[in-house]
């Protein structure tokens, strides 16, 4: 393949990554703030926050395993761990959207010093989750296409953001779970 063809192909992929990284958070926000929720006439959706916490925990472990494997020079296991983290993130996103499109949001009932702590963690989690998709997708693309120099540059940003989002997702769940009304 010609060099200019490869460059144009990569530009197209990066354009798609950019579009996805914008559309997904916008769609999630729309679903979260819909005036009326989608009626599924079923209580099964109330299990999803618990499942999401498990998925986030597993994604955290996969991310950490990926770092351990790459530090040991085991690229094959690193790729497997990061692919697992990526897949878990996709499953989480689907589950999260289904839950928030069908169930009313739970209000945090904590009082005193824990309230601002909860909201700080929640707000930083939401903001970083919204911006995390672009560097995660870019890092995954560069890793998948074996562009190691570019992959390393992006991972310096993507990994800590992704790890923070998975860990704080579980913390937010643990803090709000006593206030679920189901």
Q: Please tell me the predicted confidence (pLDDT) of residue 156.
A: 96
| The dihedral formed by the CA atoms of 144, 149, 154 and 156, expressed in degrees to the nearest 10 | 120
Q: What share of the chain is helix, strand, coil (3-state, %, to 5)?
A: 80, 0, 20
- Using DSSP's 3-state secondary structure scheme, residue 2 falls into coil
Q: Please tell me the predicted confidence (pLDDT) of residue 38.
A: 82
Q: Please tell me the predicted confidence (pLDDT) of residue 2.
A: 59
Q: Please tell me the predicted confidence (pLDDT) of residue 5.
A: 62
What domains are defined for the chain?
Answer: 3-179 (1.20.120)
Q: How many Å apart are CA 130 and CA 26, to the nearest integer?
A: 9
Q: Please tell me the predicted confidence (pLDDT) of residue 1.
A: 52
| Residue 74, phi-psi category: left (phi > 0), alpha (psi -120 to 50), beta (remainder) | beta
- Chunked in runs of 10, what are the mean pLDDT values of the chain (182 residues)? 66 93 90 80 86 97 98 96 96 92 87 96 95 95 94 96 97 92 66
Q: How many Å apart are CA 56 and CA 165, to the nearest integer?
A: 9
């Amino acid at each position: 393949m010609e060099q200019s063809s490869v460059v144009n192909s990569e530009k197209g992929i990066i354009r798609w990554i950019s579009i996805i990284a914008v559309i997904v958070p916008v769609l999630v926000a729309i679903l979260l703030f819909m005036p009326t929720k989608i009626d599924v006439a079923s209580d099964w959706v109330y299990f999803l926050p618990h499942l999401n916490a498990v998925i986030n925990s597993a994604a955290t472990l996969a991310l950490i395993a990926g770092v351990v494997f790459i530090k040991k020079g085991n690229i094959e296991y690193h790729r497997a761990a990061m692919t697992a983290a990526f897949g878990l993130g996709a499953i989480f996103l689907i589950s999260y959207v289904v839950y928030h499109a069908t169930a009313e949001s739970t209000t945090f009932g904590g009082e005193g010093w824990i309230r601002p702590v909860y909201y700080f963690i929640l707000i930083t989690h939401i903001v970083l989750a919204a911006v995390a998709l672009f560097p995660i997708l870019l890092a995954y693309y560069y890793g998948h296409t074996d562009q190691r120099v570019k992959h390393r540059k992006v991972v310096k940003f993507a990994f800590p953001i992704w790890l923070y989002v998975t860990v704080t997702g579980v913390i937010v769940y643990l803090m709000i779970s006593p206030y679920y009304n189901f």
